[in-house]
Every structure is written in C-alpha cells, then in structure tokens.
Amino acid sequence: MDNSDNAFQQDSRQKDSLVTNTVQAIRWHEDKLELLDQRILPHQIEYILLTNAKDTARAITDMVVRGAPAIGITAAYGVAIAARNNEDLEIAYQQLAESRPTAVNLFWALERMRKVSSQTYPDLIAEAIAIHQEDIQANIKMGQLGAGLIADNSQIYTHCNAGALATGGYGTALGVIRAAFGDNKLTQVYAGETRPWLQGARLTAWELMADSIPVKLCAEGAAAQLFRQGQIDWLVVGADRIAANGDVANKVGTYGLALLAKHHGIKVMIAAPTSTIDMQTASGEDIDIEQRHSSELTHHKGQAIAPEGCEAINPAFDITPADLIDVIATEKGLILQPSHETVAMLMSR
C-alpha cells in the first residue's frame, strides 16, 4: 500500500545506532497498523495497511509478518483494531489465534490482551503498544547477556531470521550478534539461507549488511563441512516455543544444525524472550508443528521446480532437544544447560 524506503526507525534520543536504527517490521503509525511485507524483501520495501482482525490474521498466515515475537505483537494490534471497529471480539481473538500454530508468543500476547479488563480500544491499544515496546527492551537485555558469553574473535552461524524483522525490533539471535559485534567480538557471521522461504538469504543477510556486520550466506548443505573446518564458535538461533523441559521448537533445520554443532564441539545458544517459554507444554513432543503447503517446496514464485504432481512434506519447524543446547538467553537471565529445573528456576524469578 504505502511505498516507503524509511523502514528503519530513527530515535535521536539514543546514540547507539545498532540499538535504535534497526528495521521496523511492525509500525503503529498515526493510529494505523502497517506491516513491512517480508515476502518481497530485500528488493522491495512496502508497508501494508491492516484495518481489521481478519486481514491481520491473514497477513500472519501468509508470512507478510513472521517470527515468533512479531507474530504476537501483530496479533495484539489486531485485537485493538477489532475493538475500534466494533468487531465481535470473540471472533477476532479466534481468527488471530488460528493464524499460525507453533509460535507461543501469539497465544501469550492474545492472553495478555484478554486480561485487559475493559476490552475497549484505548486500553487495548495501550496494551498492544506496551507488548511491542517491552519486546524491544527484552531483546536489548538478552542481547547483552548472550553476548557476554561470546569470546573475542568469534564466528557465529545463525539460521532463519531472528532479527529486528522477527520481533518488535533489534532481534533475539541477531540481538546477541548485534551486541557481540558492538563489543568488537565478532569476526564473521554465517547466515544459513533457510529454505524454502529463504529468511536467511533475504532477511538476515539484509539486516546484518545494513548494520555493516560481516555476514556470509551459506547453503544449508554446506553447514556440515563449515562446522567441520573448526572456524565456527557458536550456533545462535531464536525459538518459536520453548517447552518446560528446555526443548526448543525453531525453524526447520535447527535440529540438524544443533546435532552438527554437538558433533563438532560448537556451542549452541537459543536467544528468546520469556514470552517464548511455554510452561504449559511439558516437552517438545507436545508442540504443534505447523505443516505448510507443499507448493512452497514444489514451486518458486509460481514457477514449478519439481515434476508435476510431486508430493512434498513441508514442516515449518523442528524440535531441538534440551540436551543439545548449551544456553538459553532471555531478558531475565541465562539458562545454562536447560532442563525442567533450570527453566523453572528462571521463570520463577
């Protein structure tokens, strides 16, 4: 709708441009919700205006906006917009809850919105803005904590996009990377391209290049050899849902990378806000993994790339067991050697 190359927020009150100048996936601007259309990045920068709950839910399903925290924030704004429109709020909550199943931040945000006692527009929009702002602050905090574990001259591999685009701003895994880069600890970041949506190639590479953080793209199939060469120090990724025992659902491919990391002595960090930790879900086996349409694999931009009629499986996420993870970095602190006990301890803080 609105063509704009001003996708980067400017905040003159703060000096650190790495903190304040990250791309804005979600804009609440003059009482309007605008989403940066992530399907056409990095070559087209276009914001889409959302005016009701149904279209907001559709934008989440269709990947206009994606990434666990960003999905939750968007849904919160969707509820507020529905209240302003005098939509049936029960239907609005339901439409938004059905938009994608795996990222628990969606349900966490909707639950927070439900707890707003008046359910009127002024109170709901204030809560949505608070959820958005708190997410940015959480990312900055977990970025500092995670970066504290990174040694000088480190090389990091990341998967998918857990950056400003996937959150309210700054990013989770990319927040750690931004903070470590700010501390002059990074010599190289590798971004796995992340098929089929190519979040690594289209989004992570774009975000990091905008911050002049040295990034090289890596085909998924090249990761094993890269890990074997012994130059990677950390695998740092985000999460869509963390179960009470520390198992992590994240972009499909994360499990394979964590296994590779374990085999090659590379440390694994999950960076996620506590809104991604789901104490109601006992283990990874209980997490609903989204299955997306097979055409995302068999076609590219509407063009067939597989034989006609070819079947495909397309799970959007996989589960990395807690015992493959060295640390979960959250805004409340670090969970070293995640387990039921260590996760519960952090959540009780």
| Site residues for ligand MRU per CB under 6 A | 66-69, 103, 160, 162, 166-167, 172, 199, 237-240, 250-251, 316
Taking the least distance from each CB to ligand MRU, the nearer of 124 and 205 is 205
Say whether 247 is catalytic: no
Q: Which contacts of 36-44 are long-range, i.e. CB under 8 A and separated by 24 or more positions?
A: 36/7, 36/65, 36/165, 37/64, 38/63, 38/64, 38/65, 38/66, 38/165, 38/202, 38/203, 39/63, 39/64, 41/165, 41/202, 41/203, 41/206, 42/202, 42/203, 42/205, 42/206
| Active-site residue, from 37, 211, 240, 318 | 240
Shortest Cβ contact with ligand MRU: which residue?
238
CB 160 to ligand MRU: min, Å: 4
Q: DSSP label at 161?
A: -
Which residue spans within 83-153 are E strands per DSSP?
A: none
d(CA 145, CA 158): 17
Taking the least distance from each CB to ligand MRU, the nearer of 116 and 157 is 157
Q: Which residue from 210, 180, 166 is spatially nearest to 329, judged by alpha carbons? A: 180
Taking the least distance from each CB to ligand MRU, the nearer of 298 and 320 is 320
CB 124 to ligand MRU: min, Å: 24
d(CA 328, CA 271): 6
Taking the least distance from each CB to ligand MRU, the nearer of 182 and 196 is 196
Helices (H), 183-240: 199, 205-210, 223-228
Partner residues linked to 271 by β-bridges = 329
Taking the least distance from each CB to ligand MRU, the nearer of 185 and 251 is 251
CB 88 to ligand MRU: min, Å: 28
Taking the least distance from each CB to ligand MRU, the nearer of 165 and 343 is 165
Q: Which three-class secondary structure state does DSSP give residue 155?
A: strand
Q: Which three-class secondary structure state does DSSP give residue 118?
A: coil
Check: CB of residue 160 under 8 Å from CB of residue 192: yes
CB 330 to ligand MRU: min, Å: 12
Q: Give residues with Cβ within 8 angstroms of 60, minimum separation 6.
A: 66, 71, 74, 75, 96, 99, 100, 106
d(CA 243, CA 344): 11
Question: What would the two tokens of residue 261 be?
Answer: 């990391």
CB 326 to ligand MRU: min, Å: 17
CB 84 to ligand MRU: min, Å: 27
Catalytically active residues, by annotation = 240
